[in-house]
Amino acid sequence: MLKKICLLFLPLLFVISFVDAQKRLGNETAAQKKQRMEWWTNDRFGMFIHWGLYALPARHEWVKNHERMTNEEYEKYFKIFNPDLFDAKAWAKKAKAAGMRYAVLTSKHHEGFNMFDSKYTDYKVTNTPAKRDLVKEFVEAFRAEGIKVGFYYSLLDWHHPDYTIDENHPQRPLKNSDTAYARLNKGRDMAKYRKYLYNQVTELLTKYGKIDILWLDFSFPGKYGKGREDWGSVALMKQIRKLQPGIIVDNRLDLNDYEDGVDFETPEQVSTEELEKYRGKVWETCQTFSGSWGYDRDENTWKTHRQLLDLLITSVSNGGNLLLNVGPTARGEFDYRASSALDSLSHWMHSNSKSIYGCTYAPAEFKVPANTKLTYNPVTKRLYVHLYEYPSGSFTLPGYKGKVKYAQFLHDDSELKIKPDAGGDEDVVLEMPEKKPGFDIPVIELILQ
Ligand code: GLC
């Protein structure tokens, strides 16, 4: 009997898996995708910029939600937004010096305010005292520095009159109930918002030349949430690919079950330990300097230089990218703490970036020596040993016998002699200077056999 049932269902299973395997938006091959993603996989390090009206209250980019502000209450920020010190060229130079090869700016965040000149709304930067299209200035300045440009665009919109109120909305009910939502959403029409969103993304991808990345944020499917049907994700993604065939898109459109619905995963604010589990996937971790994305004056949990370096190295040593966020002030500058963090990264990257660009995790045959992290460049076949604790005098590479041709410091190409009679049959021992070089985490470059 059981056998019979199984046999009956077999063709059905076949059809289901066939349909599933066919769930695609386009017809790009795996090899074409790899090629499209190549620069991004190589470059590893980008700058995220969260900038909007929320820089004025300066207490988190979710302030409108946290304090349940209405549009009227939030309007005071729109009326005075005037970043008099904004200089897109200065930002671009800063990003470049820090070794960041791409940058992603919030064109609109959840608050619904547009940092660009959109013809579909009046709620935009050109109608504030700033009177300029800041997205345009960003694009031009970063491109001029040779930095790839991307837009963050919030799927959520806490200002648009047709965007229905959900559990993340500032005007959400105190207690979730169907009747409360029905009452609040009377007269709101998501179909209209969906069209608005589609039109705005179309604008962003047609008015500013070649856009390298689109970072859409975010889906939260559920009874009082929003997902692909609300955004019209399938049609939107097709339009994105049509307008900018080379663009790279994140994974927050709720299209995970489409074979080509996601270009990269986005583990957000995760610990360095957690990054290990992303090995083998295509991913970028986004991280803040402190706890908030938008400028937050009184947020004081700033990461140290060593923590930031560790994030960058650990990302690459697990085969991923790091998108490090700056939340500029309402006057249009990087806050002094962000600025000095970027300077310290510049110092390290100037001399050590070869262990970042084009690198990934080391082949399994190389053991990770104590207090180090490894990265590896599969093209040049060089292995990079990041020294978290400096080993004065000598340093042992366990199990590396016969694998190393030459060793040097990465920052100055100065030789680190291999001790000929040390290490037995297994290990390689390097002669190290007593004094640690002037980097928090110095790097040894190994030229392999
Ligand atoms: C979250 C937050 C948002 C931030 C984003 C960055 O989705 O809602 O404020 O922009 O993460 O990844």
Give the pLDDT of the chain (449 residues) as one tens digit per residue.
555 555 555 555 555 555 555 699 999 999 999 999 999 999 999 999 999 999 999 999 999 999 999 999 999 999 999 999 999 999 999 999 999 999 999 999 999 999 999 999 999 999 999 999 999 999 999 999 999 999 999 999 999 999 999 999 999 999 999 999 999 999 999 999 999 999 999 999 999 999 999 999 999 999 999 999 999 999 999 999 999 999 999 999 999 999 999 999 999 999 999 999 999 999 999 999 999 999 999 999 999 999 999 999 999 999 999 999 999 999 999 999 999 999 999 999 999 999 999 999 999 999 999 999 999 999 999 999 999 999 999 999 999 999 999 999 999 999 999 999 999 999 999 999 999 999 999 999 999 99
Strand 102-108 vs strand 148-154: parallel, antiparallel, or unpaired?
A: parallel
Residues 102 and 43 in one domain: yes
User: Does 51 map to a domain?
Assistant: yes
Q: Give residue 402's domain range.
A: 372-448
How many other CB atoms are there within 10 angstroms of residue 449's CB atom? 10
Number of domains in the chain: 2
User: Does 7 map to a domain?
Assistant: no
CA of 142 to the centre of ligand 1 (A): 22
User: Does 109 map to a domain?
Assistant: yes
Closest CA to 446 of 388, 384, 361, 355: 384
User: Does 277 map to a domain?
Assistant: yes
Q: Token pair of 293, please?
A: 């994305």
Pocket of ligand 1 (CB under 6 A): 50, 61-62, 217-218, 268, 286, 293
Residues 312 and 381 in one domain: no
Nearest-atom index, ligand 1, CA of 156: 8
User: Does 347 map to a domain?
Assistant: yes
CA of 67 to the centre of ligand 1 (A): 17
Residues 280 and 393 in one domain: no
Pocket perturbation via mutation, ligand 1, pick of 48, 61, 218 by most ligand atoms within 8 A of CB? 218
Residues 224 and 283 in one domain: yes
Pocket perturbation via mutation, ligand 1, pick of 47, 110, 167, 217 by most ligand atoms within 8 A of CB? 217
User: Does 11 map to a domain?
Assistant: no
Residues 219 and 251 in one domain: yes
Q: Which residues, 6 or more positions from 325, have their beta carbon under 8 angstroms from its beta carbon?
A: 47, 48, 49, 50, 286, 287, 288, 289, 293
Among 297, 324, 355, the domain boundary falls at: 355
Residues 290 and 437 in one domain: no
Residue with CA at minimum distance from ligand 1 atom 5: 217
Residues 135 and 273 in one domain: yes
CATH number of the domain enclosing 175: 3.20.20.80
Nearest-atom index, ligand 1, CA of 106: 10
Residues 338 and 411 in one domain: no
CA of 227 to the centre of ligand 1 (A): 16
User: Does 241 map to a domain?
Assistant: yes
CA of 217 to the centre of ligand 1 (A): 7
Residues 141 and 180 in one domain: yes
Residues 347 and 390 in one domain: no
For the stretch 128-131, contacts whose Cβ atoms lie closer than 8 Å and that sit 24 or more positions apart, written own/partner, are 128/78, 128/79, 128/80, 128/81, 128/82, 129/79, 129/80, 129/81, 129/82, 130/81, 130/82, 130/83, 130/86
CATH number of the domain enclosing 405: 2.60.40.1180
Residues 311 and 404 in one domain: no
Q: Cβ(224)–Cβ(181) under 8 Å? A: yes
Residues 396 and 348 in one domain: no
- CA angle 172/178/183 to nearest 5° reads 65
Nearest-atom index, ligand 1, CA of 152: 10
CA of 387 to the centre of ligand 1 (A): 33
Distance, in Å, from the CA atom of 333 to the CA atom of 326, rounded to the nearest integer, reads: 10
